[in-house]
Amino acid sequence: MRWNPVVQALAWAALVSPALPLSAVEPLPLLLAETEQGQADVALYLVSEKLDGVRAYWDGQALRTRNGHPIHAPAWFVAPLPPQPLDGELWIGRGEFERLSGIVRRQTPDDEQWRQVRYLVFELPQAPGTFRQRALALRKLTTTLALPWLQAVEQWEFGSRQALDEKLLRVSRAGGEGLMLHRADALYVTGRSDVLLKLKLWRDAEATVIGHQPGRGKYAGMLGALRVRTDDGVEFLLGSGFSDADRRQPPPIGSLITFRYRELTARGLPRFASYYRPRDL
């Protein structure tokens, strides 16, 4: 079946937020991670697993994605949540992002599917104290509430770089994405900051889809490659990492995607770049 880019773009926009125009929401002021490249003093950080989920912000009344779109969770899921803000990930399990995304995107929540979802929280936004203090307060809060679907993300400490790297390897081999390092002494901040670092065997980045390259041979009538542009203005073709379903229904022009790569070339191009998934909602 041949795909129509215009139809795909309209369908994608409707899927992202069927009831709310995209122009009516703004990205939330959340803390975003920098990439760890061997510069961190491991002893200064609390470390957790990087979850393959959907970022979810609870403002005390409503659950929203990082881009500000409402998440239509069942009433029983959100009604017992505390009146204070929480930041975390909706999660089912390692490697389950696609299934989770389908559940979260639905305008009418499916109770049975939502009972598989957990809200794993890693931050108390705008709360006083250091991250270590906030992590302890978060653990106490979730223990007191005792909701099966609400859990504080486990935080570890490592005394050496070798111990951290060994943990990264174990998590990655088990199907995890990587690790998150949060400065234990950091006050709460928003925006992209080196108080929070992501550590992965593969690097990842985001780019905007600016074109579709038609496929050939067995991919005739489907997507061959995406032409994308990074925030730095670097443009390149992204031709690997797609499933057949992705090639039949590719991310529309104008949408944001996440790609993985090993390193940057001298010209700033990502080496061994591969499509990963649409960017989190």
CA distances from 86 to 51, 62, 95, 109, 273 (A): 16, 11, 24, 21, 34
Cα 198 from chain centroid?
A: 11
Q: Is 130 exposed, middle or buried (0-12, 13-18, 19+ CB in 10 A)?
A: middle
50 classed as catalytic: yes
CB 225 within 8 A of CB 268: no
End-to-end distance of the chain based on CA atoms, in angstroms?
27
- Catalytic residue from among 50, 140, 198, 218: 50
CB 222 within 8 A of CB 242: no
How far apart (Å, rounded) are the C-alpha atoms in residues 91 and 118?
5
Torsion of CA 57, 58, 63, 64, to 10 degrees: -30
**Which residues are catalytically annotated?**
50
